[in-house]
C-alpha cells in the first residue's frame, strides 16, 4: 500500500520534472526528442501516484512486497535503460567525430600535396572556411 506522503512526493516530483522539461524545451536547451523520455517517466509517476492501485497491482505481479520498493526498482530500471541508450548515442557520436577528424586530415594532406605549402593569409582563410564547414556538419 502506498502511503499518502509517498503519493504527494510522487506528484510533486512528477510535476516538477514536467515543468522543468517544458521550460528547457521553450528555452531551446533540450531537444524535444531527448525530453520525451523524461516527460513519459513523469507521466507514469503521476499515474502511479493518482491511481496507487495500479502500482500495487504491478508490485504484486512482480513479487515485490512493498509498493515503494517496486517504484524505486522501476525508476532504477528506467534510469539504467536511459544510460544504456545514452552510451550507444555517445559511441555513435565518437565514431562520427573520429571519421570527421580523419577526413579533415586527409583533405588537408591532399591540399598540401596538390598546392604546396600555402601562404599564411591563405592558410588562415582556409582554416576559417574549414571551421565553418565543420560547424555545419555537427
What is the mean pLDDT of each successive set of 10 residues along the chain, which is 138 residues long?
80 84 81 80 83 89 89 90 93 96 94 71 55 56
2: left (phi over 0), alpha (psi -120 to 50) or beta: beta
The per-residue pLDDT for 107 is: 93
The per-residue pLDDT for 56 is: 87
The three grid cell numbers given for residue 48, joined into one nine-digit string: 502511479
**How far is it, in rounded angstroms, from Cα 75 to Cα 135?**
37
The per-residue pLDDT for 80 is: 95
What is the pTM (predicted TM-score) of this model? Answer: 0.62
Domain count, the chain: 1
Containing structural domain, residue 125: 4-137
100-107 long-range contacts, CB within 8 A, separation 24+: 100/134, 100/137, 100/138, 104/130, 104/134
The per-residue pLDDT for 5 is: 87
The per-residue pLDDT for 133 is: 56
Amino acid at each position: 500500500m502506498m502511503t499518502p506522503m509517498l503519493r504527494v512526493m510522487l506528484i510533486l516530483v512528477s510535476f516538477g520534472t514536467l515543468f522543468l522539461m517544458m521550460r528547457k524545451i521553450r528555452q531551446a536547451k533540450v531537444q524535444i526528442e531527448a525530453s520525451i523520455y523524461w516527460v513519459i517517466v513523469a507521466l507514469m509517476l503521476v499515474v502511479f501516484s493518482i491511481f496507487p492501485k495500479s502500482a500495487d497491482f504491478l508490485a504484486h505481479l512482480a513479487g515485490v512486497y512493498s509498493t515503494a520498493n517496486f517504484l524505486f526498482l522501476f525508476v532504477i530500471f528506467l534510469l539504467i535503460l536511459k544510460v544504456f541508450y545514452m552510451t550507444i548515442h555517445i559511441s555513435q557520436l565518437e565514431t562520427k567525430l573520429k571519421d570527421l577528424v580523419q577526413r579533415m586530415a586527409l583533405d588537408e594532406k591532399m591540399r598540401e600535396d596538390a598546392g604546396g605549402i600555402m601562404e599564411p593569409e591563405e592558410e588562415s582563410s582556409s582554416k576559417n572556411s574549414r571551421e565553418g564547414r565543420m560547424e555545419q556538419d555537427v
